[in-house]
């Protein structure tokens, strides 16, 4: 495992929820599948990647990792989806949307937006995120979601689901603000 939960907690029953205490949103509840994805190396790596670039060097009290950001995006996207969809439709897409939220920034390297202005010949972080999501979910061959569908949400190919994460007024921007 990758450190988020103790071994007893790591194996929640599929119908159980886990609470994560967030400094911005309070208690965030995540599902069994969310816990399994959060505990992957790809998502745990985000704990060490700053969401704020070099801002914490100017404001030492400012800190927010891509990991914390991804959990916040999951929380906000869940709230948005619950408002927009009937319960049965929301339940049908919940795990796909959550996975896309968790992986949406997984392709970021440290200072990746800073390096973008230098126009280096690097693959955009979104392409890496898509690949990490698809590969990780497919390797967890007992997941009840499709890595390809999660990739397509992140890539913007799934209409309203993609818009919830990356649209005009989306969960990604709302958490960043």
The answer on pLDDT for 114 being more than 70 is: no
Residue matched to tokens 């070099």: 54
Residue 92 buriedness (CB in 10 A; 0-12 / 13-18 / 19+) = exposed
Gap between the Cα atoms of 37 and 44, Å rounded: 9
**Band of residue 141 on the pLDDT scale cut at 50, 70, 90:** confident
**Band of residue 44 on the pLDDT scale cut at 50, 70, 90:** very high
Gap between the Cα atoms of 50 and 63, Å rounded: 7
Nearest to 170 by CA among 71, 25, 73: 73
Ranges 20-29, 43-52, 85-94, 98-107: which has the least confidence = 43-52
**Band of residue 8 on the pLDDT scale cut at 50, 70, 90:** very low
Average pLDDT, the chain: 85
Nearest to 33 by CA among 94, 105, 107, 80: 94
The predicted model gives 21-48 an average pLDDT of 93
**CA 138 from centre of chain:** 17
Gap between the Cα atoms of 68 and 71, Å rounded: 5
Q: What is the pLDDT of residue 81?
A: 96
What the block records as the tokens of 171 is 């969960």
Secondary structure (DSSP) of 46-90: GGGSBSSTTHHHHSTT---BHHHHHHHHHHHHHHHHHHHS-HHHH
CB 122 within 8 A of CB 172: no
Residue matched to tokens 């599948």: 33
Percent above pLDDT 70 for the chain: 82
pLDDT tens by residue, 84-96: 999 999 999 999 9
Q: Which residues contact 174 (CB under 8 A, 6 or more apart)?
A: 76
Q: What is the pLDDT of residue 149?
A: 97
Gap between the Cα atoms of 4 and 36, Å rounded: 10
The answer on pLDDT for 123 being more than 70 is: no
pTM for this structure?
0.84
- Which of the listed ranges 42-51, 62-71, 126-135 does the model predict with the highest average pLDDT? 126-135
């Amino acid at each position: 495992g990758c450190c988020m939960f103790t071994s007893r907690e790591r194996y929640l029953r599929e119908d159980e929820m886990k609470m994560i205490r967030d400094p911005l949103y309070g208690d965030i509840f995540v599902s069994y599948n969310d816990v399994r994805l959060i505990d992957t190396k790809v998502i745990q790596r985000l704990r060490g990647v700053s969401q704020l670039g070099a801002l914490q060097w100017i404001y030492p009290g400012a800190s927010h990792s891509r990991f914390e950001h991804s959990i916040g995006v999951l929380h906000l996207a869940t709230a948005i989806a619950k408002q927009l969809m009937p319960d049965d439709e929301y339940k049908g897409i919940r795990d796909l949307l959550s996975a896309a939220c968790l992986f949406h920034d997984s392709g970021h390297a440290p200072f990746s937006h800073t390096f973008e202005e230098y126009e280096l010949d690097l693959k955009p972080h979104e392409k890496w995120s898509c690949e990490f999501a698809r590969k990780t979910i497919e390797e967890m061959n007992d997941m009840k979601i499709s890595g390809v569908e999660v990739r397509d949400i992140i890539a913007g190919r799934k209409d309203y689901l993609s818009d919830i994460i990356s649209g005009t007024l989306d969960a990604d921007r709302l958490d960043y603000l």
